[in-house]
Structure 1
Amino acid sequence: MAVALGLGLPQTRQYHLGRDIPDVARAAEATGYESLWVFERILFPEPARQGLYGVDGLPWPDHYRGAADPLVTLTLAAAATQRARLGTSVLVAPLHGPFQLARTLATLDAASGGRVVAGLGTGWSHDEYAAASVRPFEERGRTLDEVIAVCRAVWGPDPVSYDGDITRIAPSVVGPKPARPIPVLLAGSSRKAMTRLVDHADGWLPVAAGVDQLRAQRRQLEDLAAERGRTRPIRTVLRANARHSARAHENAGRRPLHGSVDQIVEDLAAYAATGPDEIIVDLQSTLRDAHELQDVATEVYEKARAAGI
């Protein structure tokens, strides 16, 4: 069975958000993409206190400047589409109040007819935590735990009640409810992150950083699931951050998912062979405008399906 394919929506500053998000969403759904995805970056520090992903000296990519709010982006896409799932890959959960985030996701799911996929992570930027977090960076794991627990409570039957470190809900009617149970997917590859995933989530959101690395991480996750007695399957949704160029790159030293459409599809095939349930193809960062994004996304989808992906 072919892997499901999703597309990253245009959130970066070269796009006209009010026009391009609905247009790209409609075109992607018509092409055959099964899902539409957003990422979260709330600011671009100058200078940054730390490098990308917390790695000293690694610069933040320029397309992180002015990234549109992920949930507003998904709302625009929801109104323009009928079938495509609407996912976050990822929402930095501790930057949001747990109760309000749970209600927003529930409302979007109800409005879209049950299409939301909640992909959550802890994030890595001290600057973002300083600006928006409900708890210090050092408490990010515990905060994510509470976000998940509050979401499960709010999305469940009334009366809703919860007593946590951040959130206290007296027995209350809280609505609207999601149209169906919203899947929770988690990012991360550390043992602590994978343990949280195995115990509390429906799926995993790895990043395509190398086929061998992905296989190794998947083995670790499977071993941990067996160790902790999990029997229900873990859905794997792989984020493939692609950088398209009109001309093919030399294969010697070429980074995965960088190059022409044919080269990107070749790499997608290698990742698909590792067994993910779905691949998110995010092409937006290097393309000029929404017209080019639609054209390249359509070509990637058609060639991927022709290649058996």
Structure 2
Amino acid sequence: MAIRLGLSLPQMRQYSLGTDVPDVARAAEEIGYDSLWVFERALFPEPATQGLYGMAGVPWPDRYRDVADPLVTLALAAAATERAELGSSVLVAPLHMPFQLAKALASLDVASGGRMIAGFGTGWSLDEYAASGVRPIEERGAVLDEIIEVCRAVWGPDPVVHDGTLTKIASAAVGPKPARPIPVMLAAGNGRAFRRLVDHADGWLPAGFSAEGVEAQWRRLREMAEERGRTRPIRTVLRVNTARREKPYEGAGRQPFQGDVDQIVADLVEFAAIGLDEILIDLQGDARDARELTDVAAEVFEKARAAGV
């Protein structure tokens, strides 16, 4: 059975949100993509307080200057599609108030007929945490824990009861309820985050920086699941951010998913061999407009399937 393939929706400033998101979503579903995804970038600090992903000296990509809200983007895609799952990889959950986020995700699931995937991460940007006004970045792990608890409570049967640090619900009817249990997936790469995932989440959202690294993380995550007595499977969706160019990347130093479509597909073949459930391909950053994004997405999909992915 071929690995599932997902496509990232257009959220950046070269796209027209109201028309391009529905158009690309419909086209991706027709091409054969199994899922459609969004990510969250709340702001672009000038000057930058820290480097990209918190790495000193690494500049933020200019494409992050203007990124549409992920939940609004998903709502547009939900109204334009019928089959593809709709997910976030990732939503920086601690930037959101738990109760409102749980309500919004439940509403999206109902609107889409039960197609939502709640992909959460803790984020890393000091500036985004300062702007959000929820809790300091030092408390992001605890906030994420409560968000998961609140989502499970709000999505579950009434009366909803929760007594937490951020959210207190004495006893209430809260609707709408999701059309089906919404999977909670987490971005995680270390022991503490892996424990949270194994104990409280349905799946894992790794990033495709290297096949060897992802394979080693996946092995460790499965070992931890066995150690902690988890018996239900862990769903996996790998995110790959492409750096596409018209001509092949030649010479030393090429990173995974950097180069022309054939090189990107060759990398997909390598990563698919790890044994994950799905690969999410983000092509939007290098496309000039929605037409080019759709054309490249079709070419990547067709060549990947022809290569056995």
Establish whether TM, by shorter chain, passes 0.5: yes
CA distance in 2, matches of 1:41, 1:249: 28
1:127 paired with 2:127, answer: yes
Match of 1:30 in 2: 30
Match of 1:188 in 2: 188
Match of 1:258 in 2: 258
1:238 partner amino acid:
L
- Tell me how far 1:294 sits from its aligned partner: 0.2
Deviating runs (4+, > 3 A) in structure 1?
A: none
Conserved? CA contact 1:283–1:293, under 8 Å: yes
Segments of 5+ residues of structure 1 without an aligned counterpart are none
| Structure-1-length-normalised TM-score | 0.99
SS at match of 2:101: helix
Deviations for 1:53-96, whole angstroms, at most 9, x for unmatched residues?
11111111111111000000000000000000000000000000
1:65 paired with 2:65, answer: yes
- Tell me how far 1:303 sits from its aligned partner: 0.5
Deviations for 1:33-72, whole angstroms, at most 9, x for unmatched residues?
0100000000000011111111111111111111000000
Conserved? CA contact 1:94–1:133, under 8 Å: no
CA distance in 1, matches of 2:211, 2:113: 35
Closer/same/farther in 2, CA of residues 61 and 128 from structure 1, 3 Å limit: same
1:72-111 matches, cutoff 5 A? 72-111=72-111
2:158 partner amino acid:
D
2:185 partner amino acid:
L
Deviations for 1:239-297, whole angstroms, at most 9, x for unmatched residues?
01111111111153211101111110000010000011000000001111000000000
1:8 partner amino acid:
S
CA distance in 2, matches of 1:261, 1:278: 19
User: Sequence identity, in percent?
Assistant: 68
SS at match of 1:46: coil
Match of 2:167 in 1: 167
CA distance in 1, matches of 2:251, 2:93: 38
Q: Which moved more, 1:41-50 or 1:243-252?
A: 243-252
2:93 partner amino acid:
A
- Tell me how far 1:226 sits from its aligned partner: 1.1
Segments of 5+ residues of structure 2 without an aligned counterpart are none
SS at match of 1:87: strand
Match of 1:274 in 2: 274
1:226 paired with 2:226, answer: yes
RMSD: 0.7
Match of 2:241 in 1: 241
CA distance in 1, matches of 2:218, 2:148: 23
